[in-house]
Structure 1
Amino acid sequence: MMGPVLAACLLIILSTAWISQANEALCKKDGGVCSCNNNKNSVDCSSKKLTAIPSNIPADTKKLELDYNKLSSLPRMAFHSLTSLSVLRLEFNKLQALSAGVFDQLVELGELHLQYNDLKSLPQGIFDHLTKLTILWLDQNKLQSLPHGVFDHLTKLTILGLRNNQLRSVPNRAFDSLSNIKTLWLDPNPWDCSCRDILYLRNWIREKQGNVSNIEAAECAVGNKAVLEITEKDAASDCVSPNTTTAIPIGTMTPASVIYDDIHEIKVPQENFQKFLGYQEPDHLPTQPQCLMSISGYLGLMMSLMLTSAAILYVFHFLKKA
């Protein structure tokens, strides 16, 4: 692991001056790429072909627009200083995954726009701290399943968009905490009406019909039948949830390729996995003094190894002469 750490350290040291200058220019008036409205605490960085989030967004920003860019990931600490943020627009990017805890400090957030990305899954508890959220857009992604309890803390949510994903079912009681929901888009998704776990969604739609807009449009993937019309006979099969994994029996010889494909499904706490790999996110890269210490330690280790090798060679040479 020394190579990547040293590379990161050297990169930090060599680019410090450049970063300092870049951090001084966020708004167009200062030579930056974003438009800033200080009176409204608004920062507009949309349609700038950004591949990374600017690091010097003012802490009192209330509206941050990052839509129509090329963001493929969000560092876990990207928004942790923006505790006043009420609107966050991230639609029309290339986000493939969300880091656990990335939204945890956005306790004032009212709107979150994540539509038109490439999200295939959501981390457990990703929205747990967004208790003031009223609008959540997740349309036009590639979501195949939802974590249990993913909406449990969103009691003020009024609009939820799940259109055009790959959802076949939702977890039991997935929408039970949405006491203020007024509009919920569920179509088109490939709802599997042959599985018993679709019955929760059917019952919820029947209960909320007339009070929540657009839910009646949810249709089964096969037969074009409305989800609210399916019967227990239709949904007679016990199906395996898309995110369920089967443990590999001990002592069973399994091809390495199969093991590799299954490893990513094993749910290991992220922090433990990162500690095991020695991984550090970009937000936790070592400081310059730490880098210097790391480099010094590494050079010292290399010097010790060289001296040890020289001593061994000398001993062999002495013994050979004797």
Structure 2
Amino acid sequence: MKIRKAMMSPATAFACMLLLLFGLRVLAICPPMCQCARSHRVVDCSGRNLSQLPDSLQHNIRVLNLSCNHLGDLDRLLSHFAHLRVLDVSHNRLPRMPVHLPRALWEIHASGNRLRLLDKNDTAYQWNLKVLDLSGNELERVVFINNTMPNLRSLNLSHNKFWTVPTNMPSNLETVDLSHNFLVQILPGSLDRLPQLAYFYLHNNRFSAVSENVFSQLAGLRLITLNANPWACEDEENITDLLSWMQHTPARVLGCPCYTRHVCGEAHQLPPTGAWHIASYTQSPMSGEARDHRWPSMQAVTSSSLSKWAPSNQPSNMSATNLSAVDPVVFKSAGIPLSSSGRGLSTGRAHRTSTTPSPSSKKTSGVIRSTNQGLPLGAAQMPALNLLLTAAVLALT
């Protein structure tokens, strides 16, 4: 051994030591069953049938994807990754949130596990957390401590087993998804500390009514979904306040309780005056039965109705072919949306005439009047023809 050291120069020995150290480090940077990027600080170990945390993970990793594996316990195994920002452990077999998670985390994705409870200590020290996704678990209760997770903006608790909306949710939340649960009530005051909540998803639950003024403190609300709930519309005492709130909120409400329309409570700005108008519902302009305050009232008849009502001896310039060609143009000029077939409101019946028709509706009324004039002309000619026939018979006799 001494002979080898004597034969090796100091520079060569130093180079060998560096090569050995860096060689071991290269082998330790990225586990062989994972893929790494961005200087090996983004690690993807998803879908590898892992039952335990891979060895040789670099301590300064920032993103770790462990989704779609068979992990059942990560307690105290991630605490030393002090620079970790994004952790994805979704679709594993975790019965609870891992203990001692890094406090530098920005995002935690833990959907599709077996979580039954989110304890107050699970999130007590997550001061930097912005996104928390716990959807698709078996959660019945979550416990938040006041003034914890001050930076949390998005909370996804959908597809769980909640019966009531969680209380003490972080005050700076902007998006909360509680859809596809078993929610039946919102306790009074539960939402009063959420002034920045903009998107609130409550569809596919079991609400029949909500407490009075439960949404009144949501000053920043932009969208709320209430569809697929068994609202008790016959119970006026408990549902009136909700219906009144829907009529006055500037937020977009999807799935209006006690309405057949899909959208309600949306504020519309009318172009002529610039004044705000709160519509009880909005409807797609392509609907055949659509009615809107912006569309002029008019007498409307489809081409099929015109051809049916017109007499057999109609003038040559009002043939059924001409009517079919003119009809779509008339409806388009009047502002009535065409159906997919290219015709107007294909209801098969006439509508009442407006008392103050628009200029375009006057054109349509003129077409209808000229068509109906064929019937009186034919009726007037019949007595004259009868007299002529009678005179001819008498002359022959």
When the two structures are superposed, what TM-score results if normalisation uses the length of structure 1?
0.55
**Residue 26 of structure 1: CA displacement?**
6.1
| Alignment correspondent of 1:107 | 150
Percent same amino acid among aligned pairs? 22
DSSP-derived class of the 1:191 partner: coil
Cα distance between partner residues in 2 of 1:155 and 1:193: 29
1:138 maps to what in 2?
178
Structure 1 residues 167 and 199, CA gap change in structure 2 (3 angstroms): same
Where do 1:121-270 residues align within 5 Å? 121-123=164-166, 125-127=167-169, 130-195=170-235, 196-208=237-249, 211-215=250-254, 217-220=255-258
Distance change in 2, residues 1:67/1:147 (3 Å): same
What is the rounded CA distance, in whole Å, between the counterparts of 1:170 and 1:154 in structure 2? 17
Matched, 1:59 2:103: yes
Structure 2 unmatched runs, 5+:
1-51, 59-63, 68-77, 266-279, 281-397
8 Å CA contact 2:82–2:102 kept in 1: the answer is no
Deviation at 1:201, TM superposition (A): 0.6
Residues 24-52 of structure 1, C-alpha deviations (whole Å, 9 max, x = no match): x8677549984799767111111112111
Asked which structure has the greater CA Rg, the reply is 2
Distance 1:110 1:47, change over 3 A: same
Offset at residue 214 of structure 1 (A): 3.2
Per-residue Cα deviation, 1:250-274 (whole angstroms, up to 9, x for no partner): xxxxxxxxxxxxxxxxxxxxxxxxx
- Give structure 1 stretches of 5+ with no counterpart: 1-24, 230-322
- What count of residue pairs does the alignment treat as equivalent? 196
SS in 2 for 1:122: coil
* Partners of 1:131 and 1:104 in 2: CA distance: 8
Task: Judge conservation of contact 1:168–1:189 (CA < 8 Å) in 2.
Answer: yes
Aligned to 2:315: none
Residues 200, 26 of structure 1: CA spacing in aligned structure 2 closer, same or farther, 3 A cutoff? Answer: farther
Mapped partners of 1:64, 1:118: distance in 2 = 20
Contact 1:80 1:104 in 2 (8 A): no
Give me the CA root mean square deviation: 2.9
CA-CA distance at 1:152 after TM superposition: 0.6
| Higher RCO, Cα 8 Å, sep 6+ | 1
Which one of the candidate residues 72, 77, 86 is aligned to 2:130?
A: 86
Give the direction of change, closer, same or farther, for the CA distance of 1:131–1:87 in structure 2 (3 Å limit): same
Q: Deviations over 1:207-265 (max 9, x none)?
A: 12xx32234x2233xx9688987xxxxxxxxxxxxxxxxxxxxxxxxxxxxxxxxxxxx
Task: Name the residue aligned to 2:119.
Answer: 75
Q: Is the 8 A contact 2:82 2:104 kept in 1?
A: no
What is the DSSP-based 3-state SS (H/G/I as helix, E as strand, rest coil) of the residue aligned with 1:112?
strand
